[in-house]
Amino acid sequence: MSEGTTEAGTRLRLDLWHPNCWAIQATERTAGGILAHAVYDTPIASGSTVNGLFTAYGETEREVNALISAVDDSPLTDTVWRLQTQFDTRRNRIAPGAVSREFFLGYDPSEMICPLLLEHGFVHTAPGKIEDGRESWDVRYVGERSDIQAELDAIREEADAEIEVERVGSVGREPTHERRVSRLTRSQREVYDLARERGYYEWPRETSTRELADELDISKTTLLEHLRKAESKLLDS
């Protein structure tokens, strides 16, 4: 087996945005966030809907209800079935917010990116998080690590999506972190290390690309270029 590949695959955390998504649009307009759990019906024809289970969360019940109402009002969604509201007891927390509410939703799966991720070999290992108009997915890619960047580029093109790799690691045998990072150029290492130190790869994200660029006194475009190249090298190592 070649270095950088494993039988079990590669773990990734993806941060992304794509157009015409009801969850992204709803969280752009309202506070709180959404966890995407599971799909219960498979569409039998193009344009048909599925039923999915989701959790809306926020700091207050009013915030959560406003978010679900924004989902219900979207022209991209069908029927919303609201389930019981839950309050954070700190012992059995199911969502990031102090208040959460599960709901079933009918929607067209082609308007979410989950099926496309699966089509390109990225299997979900945890519920997706949608917050502030962005999605975060923990996935596993079973295959050659060197193929991941091409698969992500294909998704970017097909869905007109923005995708950033927030975290990457092998399942099973894995080269040490320092060995992989040593392949970065000085500029790439500087940007990548600062991003990690400032919590760019944490959830929720603790800094922005604009703040990182300002701290390094470079343009946001240059910073994103260094980050993208660093992530690509880490994926291919």
Q: What integer is the mean pLDDT of 177-197?
A: 80
What residues pair up with 52 in beta bridges, in sequence order? 39, 105
Segment 67-95, tens digit of pLDDT: 999 999 999 998 899 987 776 644 445 56
pLDDT at residue 4 is higher than 80: no
**Of the listed ranges 100-109, 130-139, 157-166, the one predicted with least confidence:** 100-109
Model confidence pLDDT, tens digit, residues 199-221: 888 777 788 899 999 999 999 99
End-to-end CA distance of the chain: 14
Task: Tell me: pLDDT of 177 over 60.
Answer: no
Cis peptide before 75 (omega within 30 of 0): no
pLDDT confidence of residue 62? 94
Domain 18-110 has CATH 3.30.1360: yes
Q: What pLDDT is attached to residue 6?
A: 39
Cα dihedral 168, 174, 179, 180, rounded to 10, equals: -30
pLDDT of residue 30: 95
Alpha helices in the chain (DSSP H): 22-29, 61-73, 114-119, 148-159, 177-181, 186-197, 209-216, 220-236
Q: What angle do CA 131, 135, 138 make, to 5 degrees?
A: 120
* 116 neighbors 27 (Cβ within 8 angstroms): no
Q: Is it the case that residue 26 has pLDDT exceeding 70?
A: yes
Task: Determine contact, residues 57/93, Cβ cutoff 8 Å.
Answer: no
How confident is the model at residue 186, as a pLDDT? 83
What element of type H or E holds 85? strand 77-87
Residue range 101-115: mean pLDDT, rounded: 87
Long-range pairs, 229-233, Cβ under 8 A, ≥24: 229/185, 229/188, 230/184, 230/188, 230/189, 230/191, 230/192, 231/164, 231/165, 231/168, 231/192, 232/149, 233/180, 233/183, 233/184, 233/188
pLDDT tens for 40-71 read 555 445 557 888 899 999 989 999 999 999 99
Q: What is the pLDDT of residue 223?
A: 92
Q: What is the pLDDT of residue 15?
A: 94
Residue ranges per structural domain of the chain: 10-15+114-236, 18-110
